[in-house]
């Protein structure tokens, strides 16, 4: 079956612009996670969705970052007024449920802020 | 709080040699532990996971890892390296229960010399 997909694969934007990153999880997966991978760093957790609610937003770095999820489907991560330090690969993962430990990762969106 | 330490950023081995990638964790609750592999320009793929069953876990591509509670370690090994093993390897920890968000180490790049 289809895996987790993300779009766009690459995004270059100017400092101060807003960007939207999209994640399509595996069908039937109720849990969805966003992570950020900055150059030379491990992955940082951003936000967790169970269905369309987000019980854990503790990793969002500032109020410029927000995310939403439609039902148990698509999620969008929005970054407002982008800064150069937002440049990173943004990865999305999904799993059957929040207590199912195997997460399936998408290929990521590489964001470059100039 | 949970954390993962992967000492060093790069390991180089000869083809056919033993691969040993170290991972130590810190967790206030019984952890679940994972190794993920990331090939160039690809998403993360789960190699293996420890979820409180057998302490010696076998994964894909001939890799295995042993959970040692007394040492808070979960080192990854493979008896004989192959050129195709060259990639970046991430160790990660999660809690049991709902919200299985992953806390990652910084990753180790494995190079395999012919």
Residues of B near A (CB-CB distance < 8 A)?
4, 6, 9, 32, 34, 36, 42-46, 49, 51, 90, 92, 94, 96-107
pLDDT tens digits for A16-28? 999 999 999 999 9
Is the four-CA dihedral A11, A12, A13, A15 of positive or negative sign? positive
Q: If pLDDT is split at 50, 70 and 90, which confidence band does A1 have?
A: low
Looking at beta carbons, which residues of chain B come within 8 Å of A96?
none
Closest-CA residue in chain B for A110?
B41
DSSP letter string over A37-83?
Answer: E-TTS-EEEEEEEETTEEEE-TT--STTEEEEE-TTS-EEEEE-S--
Closest CB to B90 among A42, A102, A104 = A42
Residue of B94, B43, B104 whose CA lies nearest to A100 = B94
Look at residue B52 in the predicted model and tell me its pLDDT.
77
Looking at beta carbons, which residues of chain A come within 8 Å of B34?
101
Which helix (H) or strand (E) segment is B32 a member of?
strand B32-38
Residue of A21, A75, A25 whose CA lies nearest to A52 = A75
Per DSSP bridges, beta strands A10-13 and A109-113 are parallel
Residue of A34, A56, A32, A61 whose CA lies nearest to A45 = A34
The pLDDT of residue B112 is above 70? yes
CA-CA distance, A10 to B93, in Å (whole number)?
28
Rounded to the nearest angstrom, the gap between the alpha carbon of residue B74 and the centroid of all alpha carbons in its chain is: 7
pLDDT tens digits for B20-44? 999 999 987 778 999 999 998 788 9
Structure tokens at A82: 């982008």
């Amino acid at each position: 079956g289809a895996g987790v997909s993300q779009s766009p694969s690459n995004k270059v934007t100017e400092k101060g612009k807003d960007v939207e990153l999209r994640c399509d999880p595996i069908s039937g997966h109720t849990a969805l996670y966003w992570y950020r991978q900055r150059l030379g760093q491990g992955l940082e957790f951003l936000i967790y969705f169970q269905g369309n609610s987000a019980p854990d937003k503790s990793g969002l770095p500032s109020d410029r970052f927000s995310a939403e999820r439609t039902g148990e489907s698509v999620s969008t991560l929005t970054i407002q007024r982008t800064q150069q330090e937002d440049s990173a690969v943004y990865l999305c993962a999904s799993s059957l449920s929040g207590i199912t430990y195997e997460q399936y990762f998408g290929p990521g969106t590489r964001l470059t802020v100039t | 709080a949970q954390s993962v330490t992967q000492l060093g950023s790069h390991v180089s081995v000869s083809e056919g040699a033993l691969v040993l990638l170290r991972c130590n964790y810190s967790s206030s609750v019984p952890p679940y532990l994972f190794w993920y592999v990331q090939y160039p320009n690809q998403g993360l793929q789960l190699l293996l996971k420890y979820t409180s069953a057998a302490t010696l876990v076998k994964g894909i591509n001939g890799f295995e890892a042993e959970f040692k509670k007394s040492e808070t370690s979960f080192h990854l090994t493979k008896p004989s390296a192959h050129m195709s093993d060259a990639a970046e390897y991430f160790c990660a920890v999660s809690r049991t229960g709902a919200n299985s968000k992953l806390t990652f180490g910084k990753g180790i790049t494995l190079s395999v010399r012919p």
